[in-house]
Amino acid sequence: MLKTILFDIGGTLIDNESWKSTVDRAAYKAMIDFGFNIGAEEFAEAFSRAVNDYDQVNNKSQKMHGGMDFVMRRLGKYLGISLSEEQEKLFKDKMERHRLDNIKLLDSADAILSDMANKYDMYVVSRGEGRIVRAMLKRLGIDSYFKDIFITGEMQADKESGRMFRLVIEKTHIEPKETVMIGNELEADGACMQFGIPFCFIDRLGVNPDKGYTFRIGNLDSINNILNFLNENIEMKCKLCNVNVVVNEIFCERCKGVFKSGILSNPEKYALVKELSLYLKWELNDTIENIMIGPILVRNEWLKKFPVTEKEIVEFYENSRNYIFDLAIAHLSDDWSKQDNEINNYALVENYETVLDYGCGLANSVFTLAGKGCRATCVDISDSLLNYVRWYASRKGINVEISKSIDTKRDFDFVICTDVLEHVPRPIDMLSKLANLVENGGAIALTTRFFREEHILHPMHLATNSSAEQAISTCLNDYGFVLDKNGSRGLQIWKKTK
């Protein structure tokens, strides 16, 4: 169970740029107030050099504390001036006041911290000067959320070597496996991993490094997905009998046997798993074992990378090694089989000749329809899934067209889009493109799971706003569709009437 959260401050909770962007002007005003005759351009150049010097020193193995002292003295050197002790004190006071007057919290930090404080023990582990850090936290009204504050300058220890984290562990007696560190500096904050503390990297700049962190998120607003993942008190329910199971399981022990027996005794389910095993070149039991934890494998893969931008989300699905198992467990469910049959029967009754399966996955429906004489097209952004579809079609002699993108110049009688839109950053835009491909008299078969009731298993379900269902209806109505049929698993079939 997750019990403790360690926080970095600057760039994690506090927006450093809100005061840094104007600190040069505040420093220049202070120098003018002291009576120094300095041109604005001359000062700006000297101040920039002083700050760059500090950044270079501060990025070396021996970290600097007392940054304003360092910058102030370098500034005097480059300007050829000398401040008296009284002026130095006044200058520092003015800079600290400027900082306190201009800092602000990032994201929804106050609300997030307020919620976390009721559930976890929280500590600050940050660089800087203790007096200033404490003043900032108090000024922002978040100091009371933390049990204690640990500052590198006071502890005489740096983060990068891990010494700071070792001292924090010794002083607080926290259990590393029950702790998470949240910060925005890979080298410094990531050193916590030396002691078994997971590190959640806040990647605001979209750097997307390959290593150096346990989890990556784009901003603090996404942190609850990580906390839910780490917290073993999450109530996971067995997929078959609904009893509580541990966080990394889908089935209880009894139902694992039931699930396996269900595959072996059902010809259609057995055939699906056997084909997957042949494609993967795995033993049948190994394939079943991976299918039984398919959603867990994909969830862990997603949370490890935590794609933020649309490009990163696309890349995740293109390269995911485990998504095929998540889809397989869905296709093996009786509800999914019933849904596929309803889709296929509708298309056959309507005598549809051209079919597009967008986000085809394992392409069960479209293979059935292609076998009945339909001209079928499979589209998916996942290379691994399309490779399987291509392999299966060739093995079975099924003629289907396979592509990673939609040909917008073509028309189709029937478009299948099941459990896809909730994975798309702009679902209504995508639905509009699909609707535009359907000929008059044609139809779209649609299922979505927008409300993420299984967010613990499916954090990649992106669209969660409550107006999504109405937005879908409005979009399809605008393109001349009317709802013609409701089916299993929330299936809706919309027919184009004009």
The pLDDT assigned to 312 comes to 86
The pLDDT assigned to 456 comes to 60
Which residues of the chain form CATH 3.40.50.1000? 4-13+105-230
The average confidence (pLDDT) of the chain is 88
pLDDT-derived band of residue 302, with 50, 70 and 90 as boundaries? Answer: confident
Summarize the confidence of residues 258-277 as an average pLDDT.
94
Least confident of 207-211, 224-228, 341-345, 424-428: 207-211
Cα dihedral angle (215, 217, 223, 227), rounded to 10 degrees? -10
Nearest Cα residue to 202 out of 179, 226, 177, 228: 226
The pLDDT assigned to 175 comes to 92
pLDDT at residue 452 is higher than 50: no
The CATH number given to 4-13+105-230 is 3.40.50.1000
Residue positions counted in the chain: 498
User: Within 10 Å of residue 189's Cβ, how many Cβ atoms?
Assistant: 31
Summarize the confidence of residues 339-352 as an average pLDDT.
96
> Global pTM?
0.64
The pLDDT assigned to 246 comes to 63
Chain-centroid distance, C-alpha 24: 36
Dihedral class, residue 452 (left if φ above 0, else alpha if ψ from -120 to 50, else beta): left
Architecture of domain 333-496: 3-Layer(aba) Sandwich (3.40)
CA distances from 439 to 410, 443, 473, 492 (A): 10, 8, 18, 18
- Give the span between the Cα atoms of 356 and 377, in whole angstroms: 5
The pLDDT assigned to 110 comes to 93
CA distances from 219 to 215, 312, 405 (A): 12, 15, 30
What percent of the chain has a predicted confidence (pLDDT) above 70?
Answer: 94
pLDDT-derived band of residue 60, with 50, 70 and 90 as boundaries? Answer: very low
pLDDT at residue 368 is higher than 70: yes
Least confident of 62-66, 239-243, 297-301, 346-350: 62-66
The CATH number given to 17-102 is 1.10.150
Summarize the confidence of residues 425-439 as an average pLDDT.
93
Which residues of the chain form CATH 3.40.50.150? 333-496
